[in-house]
Chains A and B, each alone.
Chain A
Amino acid sequence: MNQEQKIAKDIVELLNASVDQLEPAVISRLAEARQLAVQAMRESTRTTNSNGGGLLAYFGGYVRHHQRLLSLAALGSAVFFAFLLTQQFTGHGMAEHGDAFLLASELPPEAYLDKGFYSWLEQQ
Protein backbone atom coordinates (compact mmCIF):
# COMPACT_ATOMS: atom_id res chain seq x y z
CA MET A 1 0.00 0.00 0.00
CA ASN A 2 1.53 3.29 -1.05
CA GLN A 3 1.46 6.55 0.89
CA GLU A 4 -1.54 7.89 -1.02
CA GLN A 5 -3.65 4.82 -0.35
CA LYS A 6 -2.63 4.86 3.31
CA ILE A 7 -3.82 8.45 3.75
CA ALA A 8 -7.04 7.63 1.89
CA LYS A 9 -7.61 4.61 4.14
CA ASP A 10 -7.15 6.69 7.31
CA ILE A 11 -9.54 9.34 6.02
CA VAL A 12 -12.12 6.72 5.08
CA GLU A 13 -11.96 5.23 8.58
CA LEU A 14 -12.83 8.62 10.02
CA LEU A 15 -15.61 9.09 7.49
CA ASN A 16 -17.05 5.75 8.54
CA ALA A 17 -16.99 7.00 12.13
CA SER A 18 -18.96 10.07 11.03
CA VAL A 19 -21.58 7.80 9.46
CA ASP A 20 -22.04 6.01 12.77
CA GLN A 21 -22.81 9.36 14.38
CA LEU A 22 -25.77 10.23 12.17
CA GLU A 23 -28.83 11.50 14.02
CA PRO A 24 -31.55 8.92 14.73
CA ALA A 25 -34.06 11.03 12.78
CA VAL A 26 -31.87 10.84 9.68
CA ILE A 27 -31.36 7.09 10.08
CA SER A 28 -35.09 6.61 10.46
CA ARG A 29 -35.87 8.70 7.33
CA LEU A 30 -33.31 6.73 5.33
CA ALA A 31 -34.93 3.48 6.45
CA GLU A 32 -38.34 4.83 5.37
CA ALA A 33 -36.94 5.79 1.97
CA ARG A 34 -35.46 2.32 1.59
CA GLN A 35 -38.77 0.67 2.47
CA LEU A 36 -40.55 2.85 -0.09
CA ALA A 37 -38.08 1.79 -2.77
CA VAL A 38 -38.44 -1.89 -1.88
CA GLN A 39 -42.23 -1.54 -1.86
CA ALA A 40 -42.12 0.06 -5.31
CA MET A 41 -40.06 -2.86 -6.60
CA ARG A 42 -42.49 -5.35 -5.06
CA GLU A 43 -45.46 -3.64 -6.74
CA SER A 44 -43.65 -3.42 -10.06
CA THR A 45 -42.88 -7.16 -9.92
CA ARG A 46 -46.51 -7.92 -9.04
CA THR A 47 -47.79 -5.85 -11.98
CA THR A 48 -45.46 -7.61 -14.39
CA ASN A 49 -46.60 -11.00 -13.16
CA SER A 50 -50.29 -10.15 -13.37
CA ASN A 51 -49.89 -8.93 -16.95
CA GLY A 52 -48.68 -12.36 -17.92
CA GLY A 53 -45.27 -13.22 -19.19
CA GLY A 54 -43.98 -14.33 -22.55
CA LEU A 55 -45.22 -12.78 -25.77
CA LEU A 56 -47.73 -10.39 -24.19
CA ALA A 57 -45.18 -8.99 -21.78
CA TYR A 58 -42.67 -8.69 -24.61
CA PHE A 59 -45.08 -6.69 -26.76
CA GLY A 60 -46.11 -4.62 -23.75
CA GLY A 61 -42.48 -3.71 -23.20
CA TYR A 62 -41.97 -3.07 -26.92
CA VAL A 63 -44.93 -0.71 -27.04
CA ARG A 64 -43.68 1.17 -23.98
CA HIS A 65 -40.20 1.62 -25.42
CA HIS A 66 -41.18 2.46 -29.02
CA GLN A 67 -44.19 4.63 -28.36
CA ARG A 68 -43.17 7.41 -30.78
CA LEU A 69 -42.40 5.01 -33.64
CA LEU A 70 -45.69 3.20 -33.18
CA SER A 71 -47.59 6.49 -33.11
CA LEU A 72 -46.04 7.44 -36.45
CA ALA A 73 -46.91 4.05 -37.92
CA ALA A 74 -50.53 4.40 -36.73
CA LEU A 75 -50.75 7.89 -38.25
CA GLY A 76 -49.33 6.65 -41.58
CA SER A 77 -51.80 3.77 -41.66
CA ALA A 78 -54.71 6.12 -40.97
CA VAL A 79 -53.69 8.44 -43.83
CA PHE A 80 -53.33 5.50 -46.24
CA PHE A 81 -56.69 4.08 -45.22
CA ALA A 82 -58.33 7.49 -45.67
CA PHE A 83 -56.79 7.71 -49.18
CA LEU A 84 -58.20 4.30 -50.11
CA LEU A 85 -61.63 5.24 -48.84
CA THR A 86 -61.56 8.51 -50.78
CA GLN A 87 -60.63 6.64 -53.95
CA GLN A 88 -63.52 4.27 -53.44
CA PHE A 89 -66.17 6.93 -52.93
CA THR A 90 -65.17 9.73 -55.31
CA GLY A 91 -66.35 7.70 -58.31
CA HIS A 92 -63.11 8.41 -60.21
CA GLY A 93 -62.55 4.71 -60.73
CA MET A 94 -66.19 4.09 -61.49
CA ALA A 95 -66.01 5.86 -64.87
CA GLU A 96 -63.08 3.74 -66.00
CA HIS A 97 -64.91 0.70 -64.76
CA GLY A 98 -67.95 1.88 -66.81
CA ASP A 99 -65.96 2.16 -70.10
CA ALA A 100 -64.34 -1.20 -69.60
CA PHE A 101 -67.69 -2.70 -68.87
CA LEU A 102 -69.12 -1.15 -72.00
CA LEU A 103 -66.29 -2.36 -74.23
CA ALA A 104 -66.11 -5.80 -72.75
CA SER A 105 -69.81 -6.40 -72.71
CA GLU A 106 -71.23 -8.69 -75.24
CA LEU A 107 -72.50 -6.99 -78.34
CA PRO A 108 -74.28 -8.62 -81.23
CA PRO A 109 -71.94 -8.86 -84.32
CA GLU A 110 -74.34 -6.56 -86.24
CA ALA A 111 -73.47 -3.78 -83.88
CA TYR A 112 -69.86 -3.74 -85.17
CA LEU A 113 -71.12 -3.48 -88.76
CA ASP A 114 -73.36 -0.58 -87.90
CA LYS A 115 -71.56 2.72 -88.83
CA GLY A 116 -73.82 4.61 -86.52
CA PHE A 117 -72.35 2.59 -83.61
CA TYR A 118 -68.78 3.77 -84.41
CA SER A 119 -69.85 7.39 -84.66
CA TRP A 120 -71.63 6.98 -81.31
CA LEU A 121 -68.52 5.37 -79.85
CA GLU A 122 -66.33 8.27 -80.99
CA GLN A 123 -68.69 10.71 -79.37
CA GLN A 124 -68.23 9.02 -76.01
Chain B
Amino acid sequence: MASTQELSDFLKQVERRAFKQTVYAVRDDHAAMDIVQDSMLKLTEKYSDRPVTEYPMLFQRILQNTMKDYWRRQKIRGIWTTLLSSLGVGHDDDEEHDPLENMVADNAEDEPEVQYERQQTIGIIEAAIKNLPARQREAFIMRYWEDMDVAETAAAMGCSEGSVKTHCSRAVHALAASLEKYGLSKQVLEKAGVER
Protein backbone atom coordinates (compact mmCIF):
# COMPACT_ATOMS: atom_id res chain seq x y z
CA MET B 1 0.00 0.00 0.00
CA ALA B 2 1.29 3.44 -0.96
CA SER B 3 1.81 6.11 1.69
CA THR B 4 0.30 9.59 1.39
CA GLN B 5 3.77 10.94 0.65
CA GLU B 6 4.22 8.46 -2.20
CA LEU B 7 0.82 9.38 -3.59
CA SER B 8 1.63 13.07 -3.36
CA ASP B 9 4.99 12.58 -5.09
CA PHE B 10 3.40 10.53 -7.85
CA LEU B 11 0.66 13.09 -8.51
CA LYS B 12 3.16 15.94 -8.45
CA GLN B 13 5.21 14.12 -11.04
CA VAL B 14 2.34 13.47 -13.47
CA GLU B 15 -0.22 16.22 -12.89
CA ARG B 16 1.04 18.75 -15.45
CA ARG B 17 1.48 16.20 -18.21
CA ALA B 18 -1.94 14.75 -17.37
CA PHE B 19 -3.44 18.22 -17.70
CA LYS B 20 -1.82 18.87 -21.08
CA GLN B 21 -2.76 15.40 -22.29
CA THR B 22 -6.38 16.03 -21.32
CA VAL B 23 -6.37 19.44 -23.00
CA TYR B 24 -5.18 17.79 -26.23
CA ALA B 25 -8.10 15.38 -25.99
CA VAL B 26 -10.98 17.58 -24.84
CA ARG B 27 -9.70 20.96 -26.12
CA ASP B 28 -11.05 22.83 -23.13
CA ASP B 29 -8.83 23.95 -20.25
CA HIS B 30 -11.59 24.08 -17.64
CA ALA B 31 -12.98 20.67 -18.55
CA ALA B 32 -9.44 19.27 -18.57
CA MET B 33 -8.81 20.59 -15.07
CA ASP B 34 -12.02 19.01 -13.77
CA ILE B 35 -11.16 15.69 -15.41
CA VAL B 36 -7.67 15.62 -13.90
CA GLN B 37 -9.02 16.53 -10.47
CA ASP B 38 -11.70 13.80 -10.67
CA SER B 39 -9.10 11.28 -11.76
CA MET B 40 -6.84 12.13 -8.83
CA LEU B 41 -9.72 11.63 -6.38
CA LYS B 42 -10.82 8.37 -8.02
CA LEU B 43 -7.27 7.03 -7.78
CA THR B 44 -7.23 7.85 -4.07
CA GLU B 45 -10.69 6.48 -3.36
CA LYS B 46 -10.44 3.22 -5.24
CA TYR B 47 -6.79 2.26 -5.43
CA SER B 48 -5.08 3.66 -2.35
CA ASP B 49 -4.37 0.09 -1.23
CA ARG B 50 -2.35 -0.66 -4.37
CA PRO B 51 1.44 -0.37 -4.53
CA VAL B 52 2.79 2.87 -5.95
CA THR B 53 4.39 1.02 -8.89
CA GLU B 54 0.90 0.35 -10.29
CA TYR B 55 -0.13 4.01 -10.10
CA PRO B 56 1.02 5.14 -13.58
CA MET B 57 -1.07 2.50 -15.33
CA LEU B 58 -4.06 2.91 -13.00
CA PHE B 59 -4.01 6.69 -13.23
CA GLN B 60 -3.87 6.61 -17.02
CA ARG B 61 -6.77 4.18 -17.15
CA ILE B 62 -8.84 6.37 -14.81
CA LEU B 63 -7.94 9.46 -16.82
CA GLN B 64 -9.02 7.83 -20.11
CA ASN B 65 -12.30 6.62 -18.58
CA THR B 66 -13.04 10.04 -17.08
CA MET B 67 -12.44 11.59 -20.50
CA LYS B 68 -14.83 9.08 -22.06
CA ASP B 69 -17.46 10.01 -19.46
CA TYR B 70 -16.93 13.65 -20.38
CA TRP B 71 -17.42 12.91 -24.09
CA ARG B 72 -20.55 10.92 -23.36
CA ARG B 73 -22.00 13.89 -21.46
CA GLN B 74 -20.92 16.23 -24.28
CA LYS B 75 -22.61 13.98 -26.82
CA ILE B 76 -25.88 14.04 -24.91
CA ARG B 77 -25.61 17.80 -24.52
CA GLY B 78 -24.83 18.03 -28.25
CA ILE B 79 -27.98 16.11 -29.11
CA TRP B 80 -30.06 18.55 -27.07
CA THR B 81 -28.26 21.58 -28.54
CA THR B 82 -28.86 20.29 -32.08
CA LEU B 83 -32.47 19.63 -31.25
CA LEU B 84 -32.97 23.09 -29.77
CA SER B 85 -31.08 24.87 -32.55
CA SER B 86 -33.17 23.03 -35.15
CA LEU B 87 -36.16 24.52 -33.39
CA GLY B 88 -34.52 27.94 -33.62
CA VAL B 89 -33.91 28.30 -29.88
CA GLY B 90 -30.14 28.32 -29.66
CA HIS B 91 -27.23 29.62 -31.72
CA ASP B 92 -24.49 27.28 -32.81
CA ASP B 93 -21.58 28.92 -34.53
CA ASP B 94 -18.97 26.36 -33.44
CA GLU B 95 -18.05 25.19 -36.88
CA GLU B 96 -15.42 22.55 -37.50
CA HIS B 97 -12.03 24.18 -37.64
CA ASP B 98 -8.52 23.02 -38.16
CA PRO B 99 -6.40 24.12 -35.18
CA LEU B 100 -3.35 24.05 -37.43
CA GLU B 101 -4.82 26.81 -39.56
CA ASN B 102 -5.37 29.33 -36.80
CA MET B 103 -2.36 28.32 -34.76
CA VAL B 104 -0.64 31.35 -33.25
CA ALA B 105 2.28 31.75 -30.96
CA ASP B 106 0.97 33.65 -27.94
CA ASN B 107 2.97 36.54 -26.57
CA ALA B 108 5.57 36.03 -29.26
CA GLU B 109 6.13 39.72 -30.04
CA ASP B 110 8.29 40.34 -27.00
CA GLU B 111 10.22 37.08 -27.20
CA PRO B 112 13.61 36.62 -28.85
CA GLU B 113 13.61 35.01 -32.28
CA VAL B 114 14.72 31.59 -31.08
CA GLN B 115 12.11 31.55 -28.39
CA TYR B 116 9.52 32.51 -30.95
CA GLU B 117 10.52 29.70 -33.31
CA ARG B 118 10.44 27.14 -30.54
CA GLN B 119 7.07 28.41 -29.41
CA GLN B 120 5.78 28.03 -32.93
CA THR B 121 7.13 24.50 -33.20
CA ILE B 122 5.48 23.55 -29.91
CA GLY B 123 2.22 25.06 -31.12
CA ILE B 124 2.34 23.06 -34.34
CA ILE B 125 3.14 19.84 -32.48
CA GLU B 126 0.36 20.39 -29.97
CA ALA B 127 -2.12 21.08 -32.75
CA ALA B 128 -0.96 17.96 -34.59
CA ILE B 129 -1.37 15.87 -31.43
CA LYS B 130 -4.87 17.24 -30.94
CA ASN B 131 -5.69 16.18 -34.49
CA LEU B 132 -4.53 12.59 -34.00
CA PRO B 133 -7.21 9.89 -33.67
CA ALA B 134 -7.95 9.36 -29.97
CA ARG B 135 -6.42 5.89 -29.69
CA GLN B 136 -3.23 6.92 -31.45
CA ARG B 137 -2.91 9.96 -29.22
CA GLU B 138 -3.44 7.87 -26.08
CA ALA B 139 -0.87 5.30 -27.18
CA PHE B 140 1.70 7.91 -28.17
CA ILE B 141 1.35 9.89 -24.94
CA MET B 142 1.46 6.90 -22.62
CA ARG B 143 4.22 5.12 -24.46
CA TYR B 144 6.55 8.02 -25.18
CA TRP B 145 5.57 10.91 -22.93
CA GLU B 146 4.64 8.94 -19.83
CA ASP B 147 7.42 6.50 -20.65
CA MET B 148 5.23 3.48 -19.91
CA ASP B 149 6.28 0.17 -21.47
CA VAL B 150 4.19 -1.58 -24.11
CA ALA B 151 2.57 -3.97 -21.61
CA GLU B 152 1.57 -1.17 -19.23
CA THR B 153 0.19 0.91 -22.08
CA ALA B 154 -1.79 -2.07 -23.36
CA ALA B 155 -3.21 -2.69 -19.87
CA ALA B 156 -4.19 0.97 -19.46
CA MET B 157 -5.77 1.11 -22.92
CA GLY B 158 -7.45 -2.26 -22.62
CA CYS B 159 -6.00 -3.60 -25.87
CA SER B 160 -3.25 -5.94 -27.05
CA GLU B 161 0.43 -5.06 -27.10
CA GLY B 162 0.40 -5.39 -30.87
CA SER B 163 -2.32 -2.74 -31.11
CA VAL B 164 -0.26 -0.40 -28.94
CA LYS B 165 2.73 -0.77 -31.26
CA THR B 166 0.54 -0.15 -34.30
CA HIS B 167 -1.11 2.93 -32.75
CA CYS B 168 2.28 4.33 -31.70
CA SER B 169 3.81 3.79 -35.10
CA ARG B 170 0.89 5.39 -36.90
CA ALA B 171 0.90 8.30 -34.46
CA VAL B 172 4.59 9.02 -35.01
CA HIS B 173 4.19 8.83 -38.79
CA ALA B 174 1.12 11.09 -38.69
CA LEU B 175 2.94 13.62 -36.49
CA ALA B 176 6.01 13.55 -38.71
CA ALA B 177 3.81 14.09 -41.77
CA SER B 178 2.02 17.03 -40.09
CA LEU B 179 5.33 18.61 -39.19
CA GLU B 180 6.67 18.15 -42.71
CA LYS B 181 3.55 19.87 -44.00
CA TYR B 182 4.48 22.95 -41.99
CA GLY B 183 8.06 22.81 -43.16
CA LEU B 184 9.41 21.37 -39.95
CA SER B 185 12.01 18.83 -40.85
CA LYS B 186 13.71 16.42 -38.48
CA GLN B 187 16.64 18.85 -38.15
CA VAL B 188 14.36 21.68 -37.03
CA LEU B 189 12.80 19.37 -34.47
CA GLU B 190 16.19 18.37 -33.12
CA LYS B 191 17.31 22.01 -33.03
CA ALA B 192 14.19 23.07 -31.16
CA GLY B 193 14.68 20.23 -28.69
CA VAL B 194 18.36 21.01 -28.10
CA GLU B 195 17.73 24.74 -27.60
CA ARG B 196 15.52 24.15 -24.60
Binding site for B on A (CB under 8 A): 4, 6-19, 21-22, 26-27, 29-31, 33-34, 36-38, 40-42, 44-45
Contacts and interface: CB of A to CB of B under 8 A. Distances in A.
Interface of B: 4, 7-8, 11-12, 15-17, 19-20, 29, 33, 36-37, 40-41, 43-45, 48, 118, 121-122, 125-126, 129, 140, 143-145, 168-169, 172-173, 175-176, 186, 189-190, 192-193, 196
Contact of B8 (A16, A30, A38): A38
B145 A12 contact: yes
B166 to A, nearest CB: 12
A interface majority secondary structure: helix
Given A33-B37, A45-B48, 10 more contacts: A7-B186, A8-B144, A15-B17, A16-B196, A18-B122, A18-B125, A26-B19, A30-B19, A30-B36, A36-B40
28 contacts: A4-B168, A4-B173, A7-B186, A8-B140, A9-B144, A9-B193, A10-B192, A13-B196, A14-B125, A15-B122, A16-B145, A16-B196, A17-B122, A19-B17, A21-B122, A26-B33, A30-B16, A30-B19, A34-B11, A36-B37, A37-B7, A37-B40, A37-B41, A37-B44, A38-B8, A40-B45, A44-B45, A45-B48
Given A7-B172, A8-B140, A26-B19, A14 B37 contact: no
A50 to B, nearest CB: 16
B184 to A, nearest CB: 10
A7 B169 contact: no
Contacts of B140: 8
A8 B17 contact: no
A44 B3 CA distance: 12
A30 B172 CA distance: 29
B48 A41 contact: yes
A44 B48 contact: yes
Contacts of B43: 37
B192 A14 contact: yes
A40 B143 CA distance: 30
